[in-house]
Amino acid sequence: MSTRLSSGGRLIDRARTVEYSFNGKRLRGFKGDTLASALLASDQMLVGRSFKYHRPRGIVASGAEEPNALVGLGTGARFEPNQRMTTTELFDGLSSASQNHWPSLEYDVGVLNNAVAKFLPAGFYYKTFIHPRAAWKHVFEPVIRQSAGLGRVPKERDADRYEYFYAHCDLLVVGGGIAGLQAALVAGAAGARVLVLEQTAHWGGRAPVDGVEIDGKPAEAWIKASVQALEKMSNVMLRRRTMASGVYDHGYVLADEKVADHTPGDGRPRHRLWRIRAGRIVTATGAIERPLAFAGNDIPGVMLASAVRDYVVNWAVSPGDRTVVVTNNDDAYRTALALKAAGLQVPAVVDARDRADGALPQAARAAGIRVLTGSAIAKAHGGKRLSGVAICAQGGEGNAVTEEIPCEAVAMSGGWSPVVHLYSHCGGKLSWDEAHAMFRPDAARPPTGADGTGFVFAAGAANGALYVQDVLGDATKATIAALQAAGVAEVETVVPAVKAEVEAPMIPIWVMPQGAGPDLRMKMWLDYQNDVKVSDVQLAAREGYESVEHTKRYTTLGMATDQGKLSNINGLAVLSNALNAPIPEVGTTTFRPPYTPVTIGALAGEARGEIFQPLRRTAIHDWHEAHGVEWEPVGHWRRPYCYKNGAEIASAAVNREVLAVRERVGLLDASTLGKILVKGPDAGRFLDMLYTNMMSNLKPGKCRYGLMCSENGFLMDDGVVARIDEETWLCHTTSGGADRIHGWMEDWLQCEWWDWKVYTANLTEQYTQIAVVGPKARAVLEKLGGIEVSGEEFKFMEWREGTLGGLPARIFRISFSGELSYEIATPAGHGRALWDALLKAGEEFGITPYGTEALHVMRAEKGFIMIGDESDGTVIPQDLNLNWAISKKKEDFLGKRGQERSYLADPGRWKLVGLETLDGTVLPDGAYAVADGFNANGQRNTQGRITSTYWSPTLRKGIAMALVHRGPERMGEVLEFPKPDGSSVKAKICDPVFYDKDGEKQNV
Partner 1 sequence: MKRYSVFAIAREAMRHHTGWERAWASPEPKANYDVIIIGAGGHGLATAYYLGKNFGITNVAVIEKGWLGGGNTGRNTTIIRSNYLQDPSAAIYDKALKLYENLSQDLNYNVMFSPRGLLMLAQTHHEVRGYLRTVHANNLQGVATEWIEPAKVKEIVPIINIDGPRYPVLGALWQRRGGTARHDAVAWGYARACSDMGMHILQKTEVTGVRQENGAVTGVETSRGFIGTKKLGIVVAGHSGQVAGMAGFRLPLEAVALQALVSEPIKPCMDVVVMANTVHGYMSQSDKGEMVIGGGTDSFNNFTQRGSFHHIEETLRALVETFPMISRLKMLRQWGGIVDMTGDRSPIISKTPLGNCFINCGWGTGGFKAIPGSGWAMAELMARGHAPLAAEFGLDRFREGRFIDESVAAGVAH
Partner 2 sequence: MLILECPYCGVKAEESELAAGGEAHLKRFGAGSTDEDFEGYLFARKNPKGVHFERWRHAYGCGKWFLAARCTATLEVFGTYPAQTAEPPADLVAKIKQKRPEWEGYK
- Report the partner that residue 612 touches, choosing among partner 2, partner 1, none (CB closer than 5 to 8 A by kind): partner 1
What are the two backbone dihedrals, phi and then psi, of residue 519, each rounded to the nearest 5 degrees?
Answer: -60, -40
Sign of CA dihedral 584, 589, 592, 596: negative
- Helix, strand or coil, per DSSP, at residue 237: strand
CA distances from 263 to 83, 239, 258, 314, 892 (A): 16, 17, 10, 22, 68
- Report the partner that residue 3 touches, choosing among partner 1, partner 2, none (CB closer than 5 to 8 A by kind): none
The 702-731 contact track toward partner 2, x by CB under 8 A, reads: ---------xx-------------------
User: Quick check: 334 and 211 in contact, CB under 8 A?
Assistant: yes
Stretch that binds partner 1, among 326-334, 541-549, 651-659, 823-831 (CB under 8 A): 541-549
> How many other CB atoms are there within 10 angstroms of residue 329's CB atom?
29
Of 552, 545, 523, 559, which Cα lies nearest the Cα of 117? 523
15 binds partner 1 (CB under 8 A): no
Of 234, 580, 750, 939, the residue at the interface with partner 1 (CB under 8 A) is 939
Query: What is the footprint of partner 2 within residues 258-277 (CB under 8 A)?
Result: 277
* DSSP per-residue letters across 292-310: --BBTTTSTTEEEHHHHHH
Of 71, 73, 68, which Cα lies nearest the Cα of 50? 68
Q: Which is nearer to partner 1, 406 or 518 (CB)?
A: 518
Of 892, 906, 981, 1000, the residue at the interface with partner 2 (CB under 8 A) is 892
- Report the partner that residue 342 touches, choosing among partner 2, partner 1, none (CB closer than 5 to 8 A by kind): none
901 binds partner 2 (CB under 8 A): yes
CB of 542 to partner 1, least distance (A): 6
Of 513, 537, 541, 507, which Cα lies nearest the Cα of 525? 537
Stretch that binds partner 2, among 379-387, 695-703, 886-894, 941-949 (CB under 8 A): 886-894
CB of 554 to partner 1, least distance (A): 8
User: Quick check: 165 and 142 in contact, CB under 8 A?
Assistant: no
Q: Which is nearer to partner 2, 114 or 712 (CB)?
A: 712
763 binds partner 1 (CB under 8 A): no
What are the two backbone dihedrals, phi and then psi, of residue 844, each rounded to the nearest 5 degrees?
Answer: -65, -20
Of 834, 789, 781, 787, which Cα lies nearest the Cα of 807? 834
- Helix, strand or coil, per DSSP, at residue 225: helix
571 binds partner 1 (CB under 8 A): no
- Report the partner that residue 585 touches, choosing among partner 1, partner 2, none (CB closer than 5 to 8 A by kind): none
Query: What is the footprint of partner 1 within residues 664-723 (CB under 8 A)?
Result: 712-713
739-769: b (≥16 Cβ within 10 Å) or e:
eebbebbeebbeeeeeeeebebebbbeebbb
Stretch that binds partner 2, among 34-42, 80-88, 447-455, 527-535 (CB under 8 A): 447-455
Q: Which is nearer to partner 1, 519 or 752 (CB)?
A: 519
Q: How far apart are CA 773 and CA 815, in angstroms?
A: 8
> How many other CB atoms are there within 10 angstroms of residue 97's CB atom?
18
- Helix, strand or coil, per DSSP, at residue 563: coil
Query: What is the footprint of partner 2 within residues 593-622 (CB under 8 A)?
Result: none
Q: How far apart are CA 882 and CA 876, in angstroms?
A: 9
CB of 550 to partner 1, least distance (A): 6
CB of 380 to partner 1, least distance (A): 20
CB of 747 to partner 1, least distance (A): 15
What are the two backbone dihedrals, phi and then psi, of residue 119, each rounded to the nearest 5 degrees?
Answer: -90, -5
Q: Which is nearer to partner 1, 335 or 952 (CB)?
A: 952
Of 579, 510, 569, which Cα lies nearest the Cα of 539? 579
CB of 250 to partner 2, least distance (A): 5
The 122-161 contact track toward partner 1, x by CB under 8 A, reads: --xxxxxxxx-x--xx---x--xxx-xxxxxxxxxxx---
Stretch that binds partner 2, among 129-137, 370-378, 888-896, 961-969 (CB under 8 A): 888-896
Cα–Cα–Cα angle for 782, 783, 785, rounded to 5 degrees = 65
Torsion angle of C-alpha atoms 515, 519, 525, 527, degrees rounded to 10: 110
Q: Which is nearer to partner 1, 107 or 119 (CB)?
A: 119
Q: Which is nearer to partner 2, 165 or 252 (CB)?
A: 252
User: Quick check: 540 and 122 in contact, CB under 8 A?
Assistant: yes
Of 628, 635, 898, 924, the residue at the interface with partner 2 (CB under 8 A) is 898
Q: Which is nearer to partner 2, 175 or 449 (CB)?
A: 449
- Report the partner that residue 938 touches, choosing among partner 2, partner 1, none (CB closer than 5 to 8 A by kind): partner 1
Residues that bind partner 2 (CB under 8 A): 248-252, 277, 427, 448-452, 711-712, 743, 746-747, 750-752, 754, 891-894, 896-898, 900-901
